[in-house]
Amino acid sequence: MAYIDPIQASPRHYKTLFENDRVRVLEMSLRAGEKDEQHSHPDETVYFVSGGKVKIHLPGGDAVEAELPDGHIMWHEAWTHTVENVGASDIKAIIVESKTSC
């Protein structure tokens, strides 16, 4: 599957905070009940400033739900997905995307 830039696909939910030749740092904001557009990330580390309940939709039709507490940190290899906020609280996360591999 081709890379889908979250800034291009879902500009209401993603904004660039910092970028250089090694990383791109994004802010993701998703209000309760909102769903972003399908997008991709290279290898990423995510810090949930304000967590919540999400449903992550994958391109093949599978979906997984997760409860992400405030302060939760996760790492994920490159992937494409859609995030739906199925909880009652707004979610805010800081995403650090890697542009290089070791």
Q: Which CATH number do you get for residue 16?
A: 2.60.120.10
1, part of any domain: no
Q: Using alpha carbons, select from 85, 18, 92 the residue that is nearest to residue 57.
A: 85
Q: How many structural domains does the chain have? A: 1
Q: Which domain holds residue 25?
A: 6-98
pLDDT, one tens digit per residue, over 16-71 is 999 999 999 999 999 999 999 999 999 999 999 999 999 999 999 999 999 999 99
CA distance 17 to 11: 13
